[in-house]
Amino acid sequence: MNTVVSRILQKTGLAPRRLQIEVTESSLGRQPAEIEAAIGRLERLRESGVSVALDQFGTGACSLTLLRDFPADGLNIEGAFIRSLPVDTAAVAILRSITALGRHFGARVVAEGVETEEQFEMARYAGCSQAQGYLFGRPMPQPELIAHLGGGSAS
C-alpha cells in the first residue's frame, strides 16, 4: 500500500474499505511506463481494501484502455456530459455507453455535476448508481454542513 495512504489510515483509524481514492486519467502519466506503474500502485491500494474511482471519466485519451487494464471500483462521469443533458443527443449516447461499461466491470457509476431534476432522472434512467451536484447541495463550511444534516448548530 502507498506509504502516505497507509500513514493517513493509521493516524485516523479509518478502515481501508471506507476510503475511496479518486484519480483522473491525466494524473496517471502520459507515457505507457508511467501509466503502468501508476496502475500497479492503484492495484496495491485496491488489494489493501481501498476503493479507487476514475474521476472525470470520458475526458482522457486512454479511457477505454485504462478501463480494460484497470477496472476501477467507480467511474465518475465528467459533469460536462451531464450538464448538456437532455439537449445534446451525443451526450445521452455517451452517458448510456459509459454506464453500460461500468456495469460490465462491476463499477459504481456516478453522474457528476447534476443541476436539474431532468438531468438526475436521465442519469438514473441511463444506469448511474449515484449522482452529485448542485441539485443536492452546494459546497459549505463544515459547521454549516453539520447543522444542515441535523447534527448541531452552526456556531
Q: Single out the catalytic residue among 36, 112, 115, 144.
A: 112
Is this model's pTM higher than 0.85 or not?
A: no
**Active site (annotated) includes residue 43:** no
Please give the grid coordinates belonging to residue 96.
Answer: 448510456
Residue 33 identity (one-letter amino acid): A
Q: pLDDT tens for residues 51-110? A: 999 998 877 766 677 788 887 899 999 898 898 988 888 888 889 998 999 999 999 999
Determine contact, residues 107/91, Cβ cutoff 8 Å.
no
Radius of gyration of the chain measured on its C-alpha atoms: 17
> Cell 448541531 maps to which residue?
152
Q: Which residues pair with 52 in a beta bridge?
A: 21
Q: pLDDT tens for residues 2-20? A: 788 999 999 999 999 999 9
Looking at residue 155, its pLDDT comes to 52
Please give the grid coordinates belonging to residue 10.
Answer: 493509521
Superfamily holding 3-148: EAL domain (3.20.20.450)
**Torsion sign across C-alpha atoms 19, 45, 55, 57:** negative
